[in-house]
Amino acid sequence: MKDKVYCSVCERYVKPSRKKIDHKYHELWAFFFFLTFGIGFIIYLIIKFRKKQNTCPFCESVLDLSKKQRLEKERPHITG
């Protein structure tokens, strides 16, 4: 089962994802990683996974999670 949410900008159902960290901060994170001998990577992971999965992976707009729809894979009905 997958949870999908309707994106009004893309006009389709998408699987929500986390908002990506801006590219301008990657150099800062690399410096912080080397400065702290790897502890910065643990802090990076904590910050990354604390963000909610509420953005569209295509247009990065914030989604309304109250309109979540559960979609199940269709299985062929076998009668015997």
For residue 73, pLDDT over 80 is answered with no
Q: Where are the domains of the chain?
A: 1-17+53-80, 21-51
According to the model, what pLDDT value does residue 33 have?
77
Let me know the angle formed at the C-alpha of 25 by 22 and 33, rounded to the nearest 5 degrees.
130
Q: What is the pTM of this model?
A: 0.56
The token duo for 40 is: 């910065």
pLDDT confidence band for 51 (50 / 70 / 90):
confident
Task: Tell which wins on pLDDT, 52 or 75.
Answer: 52
According to the model, what pLDDT value does residue 69 have?
60
Of 24, 27, 10, 6, residue with least CA distance to 69: 6
According to the model, what pLDDT value does residue 75 have?
47
For residue 60, pLDDT over 50 is answered with yes
